[in-house]
Amino acid sequence: MTNAPHTAKRTVGWMGIHRGHKARPAEWLAEKLIFLVSLTAILMVFLIFVFVAREALPLVFGQMNSAAARPVIPAKEMGKLKPDELRDYLALTPEEFKRLDKEALTALMEVREEEGKEAPKDKDATVNTTEWKYLFAPHEWSDSRPEDRYVWQPIGRIHKYNLWPLIIGSLKTTIVALLFSVPLALAAAIYVSQLCRPSLKEWLKPAIELLSGVPSVVLGFFGLMVMATFLQGVLGYQSRLNAFVAGIALGLAVIPVVFSIAEDALTSVPRSYTQAALALGASKWQAAWQIVLPAAAPGVFAAVVLGFGRAIGETMVVLMASGNASIMSFSLFDSTRSITATIAAELAEAVFGGHHYRMLFLIGAMLFIVTFLTNLAGDLIMHRLKGRLEGKAK
């Protein structure tokens, strides 16, 4: 009798402890699946951005021309042009150019000549308004009032694409919304998580979060019909729909976002901090304000950043309640128009592939980048705050 079978059996019994074995195929599969799903989410965001940016690229590289009157070469002189020059002149892609025969090209040139005869003759008719300097720098247009040097007016003879009215419009409504909603949401979060009775909390928390279930079109309608009239009655300003009304209505959409995250952050601060403060003789309010709020600062900050994202990205409320006039004004009580509302309102009417269409994608991509950078900066600041609380950073 030997020990061999015994030893062999033992070895078999312990095989499973080796690292990296796919000893649990179901778990391995589940893990890979989850990884794949999360990867898809990242990929989707990336693809959306690529799609939006791709539509805007011709603008970025200055390949679009929105001039009402373009230089005309008589059709007779077609023979003098090199193929590349001709293709550029007719603004065709290489594939389109290849498909057309000489007759068709001549016809196109004749159309251009006709267009040239009918084109407006004033000084701005030959301006390509999609150039960067017309997007950001002021310009006195020959067909609008002298004070409208910053103007977004994509219809009419000359397409004016100055972005400042939209950027200012978005910022105005966003800032009003945040100034209105963040203090309210934070106060509510502090009250619900720290001060109120548990039985009351069970009612208050779902009630406030229910606000996020209100469709934004309903909020917009409410802003448009009820709040606009009420606020005009109280404050007595001129235009009934303006950045202020839109901002307040937008604030209603932001409150539940900020509240929900801030309340979670405050509740997750260990109760032992509060108890220590109370045992030292702090009032409930002092403990909440001086101990719990600073300890929850990273989460509260994240709540505000997300609120900003919601406010600047929200479309319907602003579209309905802001008055939708792209006026360059810093006054909160002038009608205004945000970037998102512009895209929503104009995309359906823009010529597919045209400069207006691409311009809308450009501002969409810009919005995307702004939100991305804000979130990135927010994340960095949050990590700094967290590190400081945990005693890592100086």
Interaction between residue 275 and another protein (CB under 8 A) = yes
For another protein, the closer of residues 236 and 281 by Cβ is 281
Interaction between residue 272 and another protein (CB under 8 A) = yes
For another protein, the closer of residues 156 and 270 by Cβ is 270
Interaction between residue 286 and another protein (CB under 8 A) = yes
Smallest distance, Å, CB 376 to another protein? 25
Q: Which stretch binds another protein (CB under 8 A): 327-335, 341-349, 365-373, 384-392?
A: 384-392
Among 107, 155, 235, 276, binds another protein (CB under 8 A): 276
Interaction between residue 290 and another protein (CB under 8 A) = yes
Among 175, 282, 344, 345, binds another protein (CB under 8 A): 282
Interaction between residue 313 and another protein (CB under 8 A) = no
Q: Tell which positions 193-212 bind another protein, by CB under 8 A.
A: 197-199
3-state secondary structure string across the chain? CCCHHHHHHHHHHCHHHCCCCCCCHHHHHHHHHHHHHHHHHHHHHHHHHHHHHHHHHHHHCCCCCCCCCCCCCCHHHHHHCCHHHHHHHHCCCHHHHHHCCHHHHHHHHHHHHHHHHHCCCCCCCCCCCCCHHHHHCCCCCCCCCCCCCCCEECCCCCCEECCHHHHHHHHHHHHHHHHHHHHHHHHHHHHHHHHCCHHHHHHHHHHHHHHHHCCHHHHHHHHHHHHHHHHHHHHCCCCCCCHHHHHHHHHHHHHHHHHHHHHHHHHCCCHHHHHHHHHCCCCHHHHHHHHHHHHCHHHHHHHHHHHHHHHHHCCHHHHHHCECCCCCCCCCCCCECCHHHHHHHHHHHCCCCCHHHHHHHHHHHHHHHHHHHHHHHHHHHHHHHHHHHCCCCC
Number of residues that bind another protein (CB under 8 A): 26
Among 278, 325, 345, 370, binds another protein (CB under 8 A): 278
Interaction between residue 388 and another protein (CB under 8 A) = yes
Q: Which positions touch another protein (CB under 8 A)?
A: 197-199, 270, 272-273, 275-283, 286, 290-291, 294-295, 388-392, 394
